[in-house]
Structure 1
Amino acid sequence: MERFETESLALIPGQNVRARILSHHPWGVIVEIAGYEEAGLSPSIDMIEQFSRTTSSHDELLALFPPIGSQIDAVIEQIHRSHPPVSVRLSIRPADLESLAWRCDFCGEPITLSPGGDVLVLDSRSNDGPGSHTIISHRHCLAEQIRPENTGERARALKIGKMC
């Protein structure tokens, strides 16, 4: 067994993907992400969490389930790599497809994960075992966590991924 699963590291929260519906379940649907069919992922869409507050009946909610075999646009909401298989939760809410919002894991304030948002996605790993954990952060929140005398790392946290 590999110490760290690496194929899923190309996927990050806020990323738009294409997915194919594999099966329906009482809570939602199981999908496969295009290009990652053999990656050992467990991607799903929790339809109850996403739409139960906006539908008036169970039948109305069920009508929102995409048909099995259909291809859909989705956005990665969360990734859990703590143990295999890598769990990927997708969203198909129209607002999330436009601009996915989440909360910063440091300050708790809203943060935009979609391209153009001022977000950093950190994957933390242990040096003595498999698995990783994803942390979502504002740039400035991460920079504030770095020791003040480490000005180079603080500066890099504020610039990483930004066009020069």
Structure 2
Amino acid sequence: MVRDDQPMQRFDSVGCDLVVGTAVRATIICHERWGVMAEVLGHETVGASVDAGVIDSPSGAPRALPEEYPPVGEQVDAVVQEISRYHPPVWIRLTMRAADLHEFSWPCGCCGQLTILSPGGDGVTVDVRSSEGPGCASFAAHRSCLAGRLNPDFKGDRARVNAVGRDQPTPSAIGNESS
């Protein structure tokens, strides 16, 4: 195997602390016919957008009308709906629907049923990366679906899937890792 002495450039690490279901504040930077462009506070180097279909419409339309978009320059509450790290540039799609701000759900990549990705929910985001090069594919899963698909001998991995993001369990709750 030929190895280069140069470290691999991984664009997919940009915004790596953002996870689907995370509540964020964003500034609206411009209006488009399909929705708005935004800048996530603290993640200004990552592109972000909100489609009109995930902006509540006071008129009751299925998609917010351009005149219902938040004004340019306004800071809004949003939830990370999707993160694209497969090809550069990293891009975040946000939702501003009130229902999503309260509780954000997304289909489980294992069973297809909705899983709650908001804090306290039953879902996790799984990032798939390779040591061969940059790019990251992600999917949401119920903790139970993901843990249930792991090798039964990997008790520690199963326990970590069920614990990640929650109060960290004691080593005895994870299982005997040395065996």
Asked if the contact 1:143–1:158 (Cα under 8 Å) also holds between the matched residues in 2, the reply is yes
Does 1:6 pair with 2:13? yes
Structure-to-structure mapping, 1:69-148, within 5 angstroms: 69-148=73-152
Aligned to 2:72: 68
Asked if the contact 2:47–2:91 (Cα under 8 Å) also holds between the matched residues in 1, the reply is yes
Instruction: State the superposition RMSD in angstroms.
Output: 2.1
Aligned to 1:45: 50
Alignment partner of 2:61 out of 55, 65, 72? 55
**TM-score of the pair, normalised by structure 1:** 0.88
**TM-score of the pair, normalised by structure 2:** 0.81
CA apart distance, 1:25: 0.8
- Per-residue deviation, residues 130-152 of structure 1 (Å, max 9, x unmatched): 11011211111111111122222
The CA distance in 1 between the partners of 2:38 and 2:146, in whole Å, is 33
- Per-residue deviation, residues 9-52 of structure 1 (Å, max 9, x unmatched): 10011111111111111100111010111x2x220000145557
Letter of the 2:29 partner, please give it: L
Q: Structure 2: any 5+ residue segments left out of the alignment? A: 1-7, 170-179
CA apart distance, 1:155: 2.2
Letter of the 2:27 partner, please give it: R
- For the residue of structure 1 that corresponds to 2:12, the secondary structure is coil
Asked if the contact 2:55–2:69 (Cα under 8 Å) also holds between the matched residues in 1, the reply is no
Q: Structure 1: any 5+ residue segments left out of the alignment? A: none
Which range is displaced more, 149-158 or 7-16?
Answer: 149-158
Structure with greater helix share of residues: 1
Asked if the contact 1:31–1:44 (Cα under 8 Å) also holds between the matched residues in 2, the reply is yes
Larger Rg: 2
Larger RCO: 1 or 2 (CA < 8 Å, sep 6+): 1
The CA distance in 1 between the partners of 2:56 and 2:37, in whole Å, is 16
- Per-residue deviation, residues 37-95 of structure 1 (Å, max 9, x unmatched): 1x2x2200001455579417x8x712221111111111111111001111100001011
Aligned length: 160
